[in-house]
Amino acid sequence: MKTEYLALSFLKGIGIRTANAVIEFFGSANAFFNASVQDCLEAGLKPSFCSNLEKLRSAASRRAEKEMQLIRQEGISIVCQEDADYPTALRCCSDAPLVLYYRGDIGVNGKQGLAVVGTRRASSYGKEQTRQAVEGLRGQDIFTVSGLALGIDTQAHQSSLDYGIPTYAVLAHGLEKVYPEENKDLAQAIIDQGGAIISEMPLHTQIRAGLFPRRNRIIAGMAQATLVAEASMKGGAMHTAYAADSYQRSVFAVPGRNKDYYYEGCNYLIKTGRARLFQNAQDIRREMGLGDMAGLAASNKAGTSGHQPRTGQAGSQPDLVQSAILELLKSESPASIDYLLQHSGSGLPDLLSCLLRLELAGLIHACPGSCYELSG
């Protein structure tokens, strides 16, 4: 199964959105590789592509086999979209990677995620805001995700380790190395403390500027909310914020002084309504349904972990759209997103959000072809 997904990712003439559409049409990568030319034409693939279909599929399959050998030699793991441990929140994105390479434990499902991003030239203020934001999430069933870059990313990962929160670093190159070199020890600590380093790039992919925006969409896609702690208008953190906004995820930004170059991006996000103003961790806790800081402080004082039940967990009351989805799945299971969209009375952003919450709660699970069915 993984080899077919790798092969599809290597197929020339198909981008990531088209590849995801192919999987939705055929139900799996394996089904696509066994499909006829006529089937591929009916799936909407271009005639010029289909006329060379067998040659292209054979070349992609050979490359995938070689890649699998390299993966085994390097001791790296991969997960594809059909796997249960593929990040649920990321799978909902139309440009989700077909496969992810990783070292460590990629088990993020069942937890909420916060992406924390910002400039490499972080100020002491930006680092402190990052630390306080992460500290405010301690004791919760949550993880953080960032890009392992110097500055804000490093502070986010290190603070997560300090407060016992699993953290995940998404890289823009092959996982046989770690960039930047200064963070090799940090990357190993992330793995040792239950997180992972992750990439969608094949092994031995060299670092190129154009790969960082692709990396940034994964950071945004893995999380339910994104915090931009410090960013200029041209920083890569802005790409992450725009991606999170396009996925209908919550975005927060730390405000800065007027004409402060490394806060121009944050201020712009707030000014244009793309991000909510971040004052303290309570803002994120409310958005994620984690309870208030007073409750956390009281429970810590009493010697407990401060854990509060999350919105959307099993046992909480689903809203009207979630109830409609569950009723539909009782009669039609598995059901496609198109079917649920047609019969739930919900718009696509709300539907995807509710599906994600129900899956995180363990009430439903995803099937091949962007379909869903009741768990158990």
Look up residue 51 and give its two tokens: 């006329």
Residue 369's pLDDT band (cuts 50, 70, 90) = low
Position 349 scores a pLDDT of 60
pTM: predicted TM-score of the whole model, two decimal places: 0.79
Q: Beta-strand (E) ranges in 56-162?
A: 77-80, 99-104, 112-118, 142-146
pLDDT in tens, 166-214: 999 999 999 999 999 999 999 999 999 999 999 999 999 999 988 999 9
**CA dist., res. 346 & res. 348, Å (int):** 7
Say how far apart CA 21 and CA 100 lie, in whole Å: 18
CATH code 3.40.50.450 for 103-297:
yes
More confident position, 154 or 14: 154
Please provide the average confidence, as pLDDT, over all residues in the chain. 88
Lowest mean pLDDT among 279-288, 315-324, 333-342, 348-357: 315-324
pLDDT (tens digit, 9 = 90+) per residue, 249-278? 999 999 998 889 999 999 999 999 999 999
Rg value, the chain, Cα: 21
Q: Average pLDDT, stretch 73-82?
A: 95
332 has pLDDT over 90: no
More confident residue, 349 or 42: 42
Q: Is the pLDDT score of 304 beyond 60?
A: no
Q: May I ask the CATH architecture of the domain 320-374? A: Orthogonal Bundle (1.10)
- In this structure, the strands spanning 99-104 and 112-118 are unpaired
Q: Which residues contact 357 (CB under 8 A, 6 or more apart)?
A: 311, 312, 322
